[in-house]
Chain A
Amino acid sequence: GESVGLHLPTLSVQEGDNSIINCAYSNSASDYFIWYKQESGKGPQFIIDIRSNMDKRQGQRVTVLLNKTVKHLSLQIAATQPGDSAVYFCAELSNTGKLIFGQGTTLQVKP
């Protein structure tokens, strides 16, 4: 079936550096992608989204890139801060309304 996978389970970065979290998706019919941040004991929080007709979208300190040719999604966090430490998930919305998550990447920010 469809799946959303992440390349790296854990990413450790120095405070102030930029972080890049990657995600591969398998359903070429998916038309909407979302990045979530999850802190311990809480539900996932929306960070940024992108539609399949775009290849880049920027928010505050975050950028999402979409490469439909290789079915790859990435989240870039600029000037990573200790408060960015969390687990990050990508999710894809299929044309049937199914929202599937990847396994997640733990981001550790070192002071």
Chain B
Amino acid sequence: SQTIHQWPATLVQPVGSPLSLECTVEGTSNPNLYWYRQAAGRGLQLLFYSVGIGQISSEVPQNLSASRPQDRQFILSSKKLLLSDSGFYLCAWGTGVGRSYTFGSGTRLTVV
């Protein structure tokens, strides 16, 4: 069966520090991978998505970047965090039409 792992669950980082959030998927190959951010009480904003290794589509100009060094690994990074980067970050994967797109458990990031 397929599973998605996202860590850490919570993170408190000072302004100006770097960030690295990792997401890995097991039990599938060549998945679409996604990073979303969710502010409290709001919807899910698509940040990046990838349909293959090395293929990254950026949706919103921001202080973040994403990389896909391996087929089932998706990393969200920042060189210098801003207060506005605080939020609930969610990773998701899917494999085309007709297959459910599944989310990780999320990382709650607080930038102080």
Contacts and interface: CB of A to CB of B under 8 A. Distances in A.
Give the size range of B's interface with the partner: 20 to 34
B86 to A, nearest CB: 15
Contacts, number: 59
Contacts of B34: 99
B63 interface: no
Given A32-B98, A34-B100, A98-B49, A103 B43 contact: yes
- What is the predominant secondary structure among interface residues of chain A facing chain B? strand
A51 interface: yes
- What is the predominant secondary structure among interface residues of chain B facing chain A? strand
A96 B96 CA distance: 10
B46 A49 contact: no
Give the size range of A's interface with the partner: 20 to 34
Nearest to B32: A97
B12 interface: no
A35 B106 CA distance: 18
Contacts of A31: 97
Interface in B64-110: 90, 92, 94, 97-98, 100-106, 108
3 tightest A-B CB contacts, nearest first: A43-B103, A103-B43, A101-B44
Interface of A: 31-32, 34, 36, 41-46, 49, 51, 89, 91, 93, 96-104
